[in-house]
Chain A
Amino acid sequence: MDVLLDGVLALCLPLLAWLVLRTESLSQAVVLFVAFGLLSALGWARLEAPDIALVESAVGTGLTGALLMHTLSWTEETPPDIRARGRRRPWALLAVAASTLMLGWAVLALPADSPGLGPLVEARREESGVKHPVTAVLLNFRGYDTLLEIAVLLVAALGARAVNPRSERPTPDAGDDPLTGELFRMMMPALLLVAGYLVWVGDHGPGGAFQAGAILAGGGVVALLTMRMGPPRLSSWQVRWALLTGPMLFIGVAVAPLFTGRRLLELPRPYAGTLIFVVELALTVTIAMVLLMFFPGTRPPRAGAEGEP
């Protein structure tokens, strides 16, 4: 049965990817992309990587799908120029074939039965302060990478705001719509609970700041789209604090050991678990805010273009 499921996945994923690239209509491409993301999350789950499956379904599919859909409402849907695409095609085909060959060669060149770094992580996991190996690597053994990643996310949020400065303007309040209001009231407590649970469970199972932040940002997107909340403005103090708590706290935790004669990011063993939890909690808020910064506000109504709902 497992072979059947994996086979269907292996067939459907390239087919969906091809359909996303091929389809003429932008909205269709977005829907197909979401389907592709969900199936690839299933693929990660089948590869026994539940952490990546969670991120893929929350960020790669949920938030990105919502962002793409939202962007469609800002753009005019025009069919792409088929002829121009055709002229580019031979080069694109060549480049894709070359990179596929290279990737395939790289995978085949890997030693077949190498255990990788798994045993090393497993042997030292006791010292990391957490029980889940992925969290141990992300927040302790390779904390440096995660720290830099957060910095990259901050820059990305600033970039998104620079590209679309219109989001800085306050949006007018929509009237209280019973349908979306009720949806918001029913979903919000559950989203907060799941986000909190994911941070807590990162200690001993799949979960952590990225997943929890994505869930929290999902709640923010619902609030944004139902116009319960304007897009977060960089000029507000709350937004700046939310963006900076995670990185500041992480930098503090990273630098503090230097004063006691240890090395950068060398977390003291008895407190490592608590420190990781606190840093992850702060990072959750930051990641949620960064992801929300990508969403522009609702599109300003154009005069006489189409009937307002």
Chain B
Amino acid sequence: MSPLDFLSAAFLFGGGAFCLAGTVGVLRFPDVYCRLHALTKVDNLGLGLVVVGLALQSGSWATALKLLLVWFFVLISSAFTCQLIARAALRGRGAAPWGGRREP
């Protein structure tokens, strides 16, 4: 195990933790806007950390660049999808944001 392996493992575990937290959030959060917030964490940070961890292991600049491009495109599409879903929920269905009360 070289220091590089340790670093990459740390990134991978960090990414996995964010993915897990995001998934729990999607399942547990009260309304669609909160769930979107949790979901974008998976896309941005979870995938980002996993990509960095994998890029450290890839051993070639070309592969690392391709991995980063994957992250970049997911970032773009997730940012837009998040806004579009939130807008559809707000204007189309009129889903009211959660007021902060705990449901009995």
Q: List residues 176-202 of chain A with CB under 8 A from any CB of chain B.
A: 179-180, 182-183, 186-187, 190
Q: Interface with A: B22-30, B37-45, B88-96, which one?
A: B88-96
Does B58 sit within 8 A of A, measured CB to CB? no
Does A300 sit within 8 A of B, measured CB to CB? no
Q: List residues 8-35 of chain A with CB under 8 A from any CB of chain B.
A: none
**In the assembly, what is the distance between CA of A190 and CA of B70, in Å?**
12
* Per-residue B-contact encoding for A297-309, CB less than 8 Å = 1, 0 else: 0000000000101
**In the assembly, what is the distance between CA of A179 and CA of B90, in Å?**
15
**In the assembly, what is the distance between CA of A141 and CA of B90, in Å?**
56
Beta-carbon contact of B80 and A183 below 8 Å? yes
**In the assembly, what is the distance between CA of A75 and CA of B92, in Å?**
17
Contacts A307-B92, A309-B92; A179 near B73 (Cβ below 8 A): no
Beta-carbon contact of A180 and B73 below 8 Å? no
Q: List residues 69-104 of chain B with CB under 8 A from any CB of chain A.
A: 73, 76-77, 80, 83-84, 87-88, 91-92, 94
Beta-carbon contact of A190 and B73 below 8 Å? yes
How many residues of B are in contact with the other chain, CB < 8 A? 11
How many residues of A are in contact with the other chain, CB < 8 A? 9
* Per-residue B-contact encoding for A125-136, CB less than 8 Å = 1, 0 else: 000000000000
Partner of A309, one of B76, B83, B91: B91
User: In the assembled complex, which residues on chain A have CB atoms less than 8 Å from the CB atom of B91?
Assistant: 307, 309
Beta-carbon contact of B94 and A309 below 8 Å? no
Partner of A179, one of B77, B84, B92, B94: B84
Contacts A186-B76, A187-B76, A190-B73; A307 near B84 (Cβ below 8 A): no
**In the assembly, what is the distance between CA of A151 and CA of B92, in Å?**
42
**In the assembly, what is the distance between CA of A273 and CA of B39, in Å?**
46
**In the assembly, what is the distance between CA of A187 and CA of B73, in Å?**
8
Beta-carbon contact of B87 and A307 below 8 Å? no
User: In the assembled complex, which residues on chain A have CB atoms less than 8 Å from the CB atom of B92?
Assistant: 307, 309
Contacts A179-B87, A190-B73; A307 near B94 (Cβ below 8 A): yes
* Per-residue B-contact encoding for A167-182, CB less than 8 Å = 1, 0 else: 0000000000001101
Beta-carbon contact of B83 and A179 below 8 Å? yes
**In the assembly, what is the distance between CA of A183 and CA of B92, in Å?**
20
Report which A residues bind B (CB closer than 8 A).
179-180, 182-183, 186-187, 190, 307, 309
Q: A182-B80, A307-B91, A309-B88 given. 8 additional CB < 8 A pairs?
A: A179-B80, A179-B84, A180-B80, A183-B80, A186-B76, A187-B77, A307-B94, A309-B87
